[in-house]
Amino acid sequence: MADGPIGEAIAHIRKAAHAAGKVAGAHGTQTGYAVQMLTEGFNFMTPTADFRALQMGMAATLSGIRDKAGGEVQGLFDERDREAALLSNLDTRLQELEAEASEGRHRLEL
């Protein structure tokens, strides 16, 4: 829950919105926080960020396509998965090299 200066700033925003005749909304992924904001006078809550909602929806859509796809379409997904795995491995190795460089074990120049 938001306390201290953050809580005060959130309350100020809510009061300013209401004073201007606007509705006040807040973002909260935790039930307790969402209930607190609503009981303190916020008019609505978003249960998740737009990006996360889109990400979850897109994951479900792609999963459905993948389950029903065959042949060439499935091959596109397989290739994309291989590329994603390669990029992930490269990113992991880069992080390892950066850590080693910060410990003085290697000199890393990008």
Is the distance from CB of 57 to CB of 49 less than 8 angstroms? no
Structure tokens at 58: 């897109």
Report the C-alpha gap between 108 and 92 in whole angstroms.
Answer: 15
Is the distance from CB of 34 to CB of 28 less than 8 angstroms? yes
Show pLDDT as tens, one digit a residue, over the chain (110 residues): 577 888 899 999 999 999 999 999 988 777 888 888 889 999 988 876 666 677 777 777 777 777 776 655 666 667 777 777 778 778 788 888 777 777 776 555 54
Q: Write the single-letter amino acid at 48.
A: T
**pTM of structure:** 0.45
